[in-house]
Amino acid sequence: MRMPKRERQELLQKLVERNPFLTDEELSKRYDVSVQTIRLDRLECGIPELRKRLLNVASQTMEDKVKSIGTDEVLGDIIDIVLDERAISIFDVTIDHVFQRNGIARGHHLFAQANSLAVAVMDDDLALTVKSSIDFLKPVKAGDRVVARAEVNKESLLEKRTLVEVVSTVGDVQVFTGKFYMYRTTDRKQVD
């Protein structure tokens, strides 16, 4: 027997408040209704789409965490960060980010996402890229969502130059990798 609409919408609101990262597809399976029904329920309840929910969560938590760069200066949206450890950002490629002739994303956008994430993950008031080594592995096109994951090399934390490795993917496919050597004003030996 199907759940009444009002009851489903109340449960939907509570569930999305607890876990804003659920997709419409996951919600439709959970309540055994169509994706369109979930979208209508969200609209009636004033629940924003997944992307807006992600941005709301990210902007609430990231502003206080990031020290070395303004979150509005990062290309893409930071969705997770632990300073001097790891960070994740998402970047939705639009028609404005690609070459008109072939529809492939301009490389400087992928580089900027990775580089700005490498700066953001630094637990320092000032962090600058000293050197980078990058590889573009696969073309990215308009409509693709690029997920960049930055990892701080723990051993490099003891020096004023820290290595941050970034891997960017579209789905399960790696499209970009980079090693960013970051200058920081404080030496971690003095802080710890």
- Kindly tell me the sign of the dihedral angle through the C-alpha atoms of 179, 118, 96, 175: positive
Please list the alpha-helical segments (H only) found in 19-133.
24-31, 35-45, 50-65, 107-120
Nearest to 24 by CA among 11, 14, 34: 34
In DSSP terms, 168 is beta-bridged to 148, 176
Residues 133-169 have pLDDT tens digits of 999 999 999 999 999 999 999 887 767 789 999 999 9
Report yes or no: 108 and 75 within 8 Å, Cβ to Cβ.
no
Q: What is the CATH number of domain 64-191?
A: 3.10.129.10
**98 in Cβ contact with 106 (< 8 Å):** yes
Percent of the chain with pLDDT over 70: 88
Query: What's the CA gap between 123 and 143, in Å, rounded?
Result: 33
Supply φ then ψ for residue 4, to 5 degrees. Answer: -60, 150
Task: List 170's β-bridge partners, or say none.
Answer: 146, 173
The pTM assigned to this predicted structure is 0.68
Q: What is the pLDDT of residues 64-106, one digit of tens each?
A: 577 667 666 788 988 888 999 999 999 999 999 999 999 999 9
User: For residue 60, what pLDDT band results from cuts at 50, 70 and 90?
Assistant: low
Nearest to 129 by CA among 155, 154, 164, 159: 164
Q: Does domain 5-47 have CATH number 3.90.1300.10?
A: no
Distance CA 140, CA 148 (A): 13
Provide the residue type at 189 as one letter: K
Domain boundaries, the chain: 5-47, 64-191
What DSSP line would sit under 107-134, residue for residue?
Answer: HHHHHHHHHHHHHHT-SSS-EEEEEEEE
